[in-house]
Structure 1
Amino acid sequence: MDPMHQDALGSPSPHHAYAEHLFSLGFGLPLWQPYPIEPSDNLLGNVGYVRDGIFHRLFNAMLSGDRESNVATGTPSPVSPAMLPDPVGDGQEPGIGSLDPKSNVFCSSGTSFTGEISGLRIDYQLSFKSTVPSGSLLVLPGGAYRARLYPESDPGQDVARYMFEHYHAWQARALRAKDSAFAGEPLVFVTGYVRSGQWAAATFDQTDGQAHISHSMGSVTEPSSFSLDSPNGRLYHHSHLSRGTPGVQLPAGQRMLPRWTPSQDTLRPLRIEYTLFINACKIRFRSPSVTLGGNVGDGLEHADYIDILLSYILKHCDAHAAAAHDGDVYALCKTRDFPSKRQFVRLLDDVSPEIEVDEAGLAFLATRGTKSPIGIFSRLREFRTSRRKGSRQDLTHRAPSPTSPANGSWNALEVFYRGLR
């Protein structure tokens, strides 16, 4: 088996462990290798794929093929305005995490921390304590920004139907593209993301359940460092300034910030930010290996939560294809402790969420009620129609970034679902 996916001892690779540990935060799919972008870039509408914890962009499905960002691969089919409604507002939600430095540190379940990142200091030190054998950490010294196509909801069914119609053409185009590394991986449509200019990430495993991890940043231009106090534990880490653990690869095109010396005090770092999480819509077509009543848990190690939900949908209906979004997963889990992937498989069997299949043979989770994501999405479409008729309404919604506190205490899922209540 590829060592990038599993080591000789059978432990999951760092990117799989990190993605499972931090998905519960409620921000979408965690990227072990954050995707570098210019501050002016916008990932909304990007179509690409995730491999080894890295997002690979193919094109933007909401821009025409002659736009500069699409020239390399082209857009197989421009978006029809009738198929995808206009975003509400500009999609940008300002980050204010620096007002509460303690909210700039994220830990997976079973891990806690002491210390804080002070806005008055460029150096800091954090101490983590874990009572579980494995976990992951994310530190954002400067906070983060969040952008979503539809801030009050997930994208509903329209994005999925658009993907369903063009999916095979997109795959064929990507496979034919010159210098493309695409090998037929599942495509994702980006409907939101979290980005930051500074970050440090770590994941650890094989501890005795009483591990201590230290993290420090010497200055704004020096690499951060992690250390693990556990005799048998393993630690993988990196940051925006450093590769960190030997063997941690960087995505193609990622640029390291220049190092400073006393004689270079006028040198400015390259302006670049990094995408840490993406909200994604996925499609899966039925194949001979995906049969009605198949095992949802097959290939669980390399699947994300959306993949598990797609398997469940195809298992329990005879649709031609299934569609799911990370928002569907969060909706199923919001009233309970967030499950591991194995627990999520059992949760689906216990809850048995209803499935609906449209006339084209595409299956979704059925959502009921005016405050469901699809219900909210329908109201947004009605708003667009009324606006074109001259109605002046303002549905622009801005929410705090993932690094802001919620009612005085940090609860990522509570912030994520505030608009659904």
Structure 2
Amino acid sequence: GQGYALWHPEPHTSGEVQIADVGHIVDGAFIRLFNVLDSDQKFFGFLNKPVPNPDVLPEGATQSRDVRNRVLIPGSYRSDGVEETSGSLHAEAYGPGGAGSGGLEAGFACKRDQGAVLVLNSAAKKEIILDNYRLRRYIRDHHTTWCQNISHHKDGPGLVVQPENVIFVYGWVKTSPNWKATTFCNSKTRYFASVDVQVGPHFSAGGDYHRANIVSGPQLTRTGTSYPSATQTEPQDQCVFLSGYTVKWRLGIFPRLRAAAGYHQLPDDRDGRSGDGGEGVATIDVPDEDEFMDDIESCTAQGPLNDLLEYILEVSDAEVAIGSDEDIESILLDQPWPEDMASYLRQTRPTIEIQEGMGMISLLEKVQRERERQFHNHDPSESDKAEYPDIGTKEAGTLGDGRVLFGPSQTKARTVDWKHLKLEHKDVENGAITYVSMCPSGKLLAAAWDDITITVWRLQDGLTVQHLGVEGHEDTIWSIAFSPDSKHIVSGSADALALVWDVGTGDIDVMAVAYSLDGALIATGSSDHSLRIWGALSGALLYSFEDLGSDIKRVVFSPDGSRLAACSDVSVTVWDPREGARIATLPEHNSAIWCMAFSPNSDRIVTGSEDSSARVWDASSGEVLVELHEHTSSVCSAAFSPDGSEVATASQDGIVVTCNSWTGERRFMLGDDVDTAVEAVAYSSKNDFIAAGAADGRVRVWNSKSGSFFAEFQGHEGEVKNVMFAPNGWDLLSYAEDGSVRSWSVLDALRLS
């Protein structure tokens, strides 16, 4: 499920494959014609005429990029119908590093008409733009222009690029030159061909033609060619898989792709890149090479993606069909690839949607299938258990039902059903949550419950990592925090204890609720009006500050670790946590302080109060820099933007306001059309969005740059107490009085908006 397998992964003379390339495939090599993100637009390869600068991609079209560094690990990857067998013949061809041991050795056999094997000796990385409406509309609107420019130039050696062959690249998988690929074609027999490969410090390849009554089909093998220098790390520039959109207009003809890369075949060894071909090609002898080439030609089908485009035009009145290999993977849901894709589509009848004459697989259903696959609780792997010995499916997250609203405003938004990750503790009476914390990496989430326990989940799949507190606190847990390395959690309780837990084992390490940035210090605030600073590893009390006037309700370390702020009922004190010295005391609000936060560079603090005001303070001098009076009721939550230029405040008056953090000038008033208290506000890490949680259970999101409404997530059945973005900027978490924590994908909402 990685895309088209390229027979020639090496960079073509037109350039290394990149996101937003427009091109086509010739003899298994991708030929770039131009890149729509390239400021120096021109045709490459066989075409020399400059291409008119295409319109800029719309905002959000490429925003949803996903990069994974080890999407494929060293090993073998086979198309359906190819099986691993024992080895047979061996003929060695040494690569860089000479002979050695520790590689992969196996034989493979193909039992279908065609098939392929890719063996990697190095890990592969992947970059992809997640499917979205903006990108598909852009491709539809520009496809005709691209084809017109291309079709006017047929001066290449036999080059005729048909409209259906033009590809827009939205993803790739790349590795270093340490790879081997083999293709099979069995068009003349029901028997099978096989190949042996060994991958390690050296490559070797061999072949065997299993005979019964007739001769089986042939095979061909290529290996990557290493770069001359053996002292430098070889770049990952070999595109072994390519993901692209293709377009088919009604009444158009999708021509046969001669020797092009596909799903169940890899093409011939004629080098479509440059020169006279053959460089870096290792061919296994076959009975007759001309016969082999004829077999490859007869094996090459029009491809399952063409079947999908034909199906879209067949069952809808769309003017044009657009599709990708990812669409087919979504439809199959991890099932084996059918030999007859056209018949499979007609039997299963996947939903087609039409957007302004453009037919496609329903993007909403595609996104929902992705969510179902992601959060379908599976048994933990051995590597999972090595990292988290107690990981399991008990109390694991489930897919909750909800709704999301998209549109230019809340009053004009359209509503769709929305599956999302729901985390809860079903054994707790009323399921009450007392506190929630996300680890710094965004990988884990912890929730403290009314039954004096803590549950830790892994957010990528909802599996339960740890249950804490069977033996520990004896009264309500009011706060929890992760250590910077995410391996420990500190909890503070009404029983006057702070406990540090090992996330992996569940053990209590020390008795000691905020961690310093380097993980060396823990700060605790208490109802006895005291603030204490502890050594995180030893549990030793380093500093104790008594008689601070009232309960210490919040303690927060600054992002750079140089300051510690302690919030009591109506004032904030700022301390040097290393020296144990008071730095400043912030003058009192007129009523209780409900929230506080440091600026990203640690030099300022924002507070929100029951007196309806918010104030920005100098963290060193305690001077009031800005005083904000934007609300008519208590300010429940306040946050700095990631660049520190803005502050957002949320109030019981139902409004979220953003202001310049230096001048106090109002930028946007958000949510003034909804009359319900707003309890929490947060910026995304990329400063793209602002999210707020309301007393009626709704979670709303706005564009932070324009102030425009983006989406509203519905699913909670109680007052939302807090919202937080994961570090990736796309996953939004909320928890409410209904006893649930929910994860909302802002990225998926962006794809569908």
TM-score over 0.5 for the pair: yes
| AA matched with 1:307 | N
Structure 2 equivalent of residue 331 of structure 1: 330
Structure 1 residue corresponding to 2:248, chosen from 274, 280, 284: 284
| Distance in structure 1 (CA, Å) of the matches to 2:49 and 2:125 | 28
| AA matched with 1:315 | E
Tell me how far 1:375 sits from its aligned partner.
Answer: 9.7
TM-score, normalised via structure 1 length: 0.64
Instruction: Summarize the Cα distance change of 1:303–1:156 in structure 2 as closer, same or farther, 3 Å threshold.
Output: farther
Indicate the SS of the match to 2:317: coil
CA displacement 1:125-150 (0-9 Å, x = unmatched)? 32234555653211111121111123
| Aligned partners of 2:78 and 2:117 also within 8 Å | yes
Structure 1 residue corresponding to 2:30, chosen from 29, 33, 55: 55
| Aligned partners of 2:42 and 2:49 also within 8 Å | no
| Distance in structure 1 (CA, Å) of the matches to 2:303 and 2:223 | 25
Q: How does 1:190-269 map to 2 (within 5 A)?
A: 190-197=169-176, 198-204=178-184, 205=186, 209=191, 211-216=193-198, 219-220=201-202, 224-231=204-211, 232-241=215-224, 256-257=225-226
Structure 2 residue corresponding to 1:171, chosen from 131, 144, 147: 147
| Distance in structure 2 (CA, Å) of the matches to 1:123 and 1:315 | 49
| Aligned partners of 2:193 and 2:218 also within 8 Å | no
| Distance in structure 1 (CA, Å) of the matches to 2:346 and 2:52 | 38
Tell me how far 1:237 sits from its aligned partner.
Answer: 2.6
Instruction: Summarize the Cα distance change of 1:134–1:228 in structure 2 as closer, same or farther, 3 Å threshold.
Output: farther
| Distance in structure 2 (CA, Å) of the matches to 1:127 and 1:68 | 43
Verify: 1:125 aligned to 2:108, yes or no. no
| Distance in structure 2 (CA, Å) of the matches to 1:69 and 1:208 | 43
| AA matched with 2:344 | L
The CA RMSD over aligned residues, in Å, is: 4.4
Higher strand residue share: 2
| Distance in structure 1 (CA, Å) of the matches to 2:371 and 2:134 | 12
| AA matched with 2:727 | D
Tell me how far 1:275 sits from its aligned partner.
Answer: 0.7
| Distance in structure 2 (CA, Å) of the matches to 1:370 and 1:53 | 29
CA displacement 1:41-64 (0-9 Å, x = unmatched)? 561111111233221111111232
Q: Determine what percentage of the aligned residue pairs are the same residue.
A: 19
| AA matched with 2:78 | F
Q: How does 1:39-188 map to 2 (within 5 A)?
A: 43-65=18-40, 74=50, 76-82=52-58, 84-88=60-64, 91-95=66-70, 97-98=72-73, 101=74, 103-106=75-78, 108-113=80-85, 121=101, 125-130=105-110, 134-150=114-130, 155-176=131-152, 182-185=159-162, 186=164, 187-188=166-167
| Distance in structure 1 (CA, Å) of the matches to 2:114 and 2:153 | 40
Higher RCO, 1 vs 2 (CA within 8 Å, ≥6 residues apart): 1
| Distance in structure 2 (CA, Å) of the matches to 1:375 and 1:381 | 22
| Distance in structure 2 (CA, Å) of the matches to 1:106 and 1:267 | 32
| Aligned partners of 2:33 and 2:43 also within 8 Å | no
Alignment size in residue pairs: 329
Structure 2 equivalent of residue 350 of structure 1: 347
| Aligned partners of 1:37 and 1:273 also within 8 Å | no
Instruction: Summarize the Cα distance change of 1:64–1:347 in structure 2 as closer, same or farther, 3 Å threshold.
Output: same
Structure 1 equivalent of residue 614 of structure 2: none
Structure 2 residue corresponding to 1:386, chosen from 689, 699, 703: 689
| AA matched with 1:337 | P
Structure 2 equivalent of residue 372 of structure 1: 368
| Distance in structure 2 (CA, Å) of the matches to 1:236 and 1:381 | 54
Indicate the SS of the match to 2:117: strand
CA displacement 1:163-202 (0-9 Å, x = unmatched)? 1111121122234469656522331111111111121111
| Distance in structure 2 (CA, Å) of the matches to 1:216 and 1:62 | 40
Q: How does 1:308-327 map to 2 (within 5 A)?
A: 308-327=307-326
Instruction: Summarize the Cα distance change of 1:208–1:164 in structure 2 as closer, same or farther, 3 Å threshold.
Output: closer
Tell me how far 1:393 sits from its aligned partner.
Answer: 5.6
| Distance in structure 2 (CA, Å) of the matches to 1:381 and 1:75 | 35
Indicate the SS of the match to 1:161: helix
Q: Which has the larger radius of gyration?
A: 2
| AA matched with 1:184 | V
CA displacement 1:179-236 (0-9 Å, x = unmatched)? 656522331111111111121111223566465432235854x6x4231242323433
| AA matched with 1:158 | R
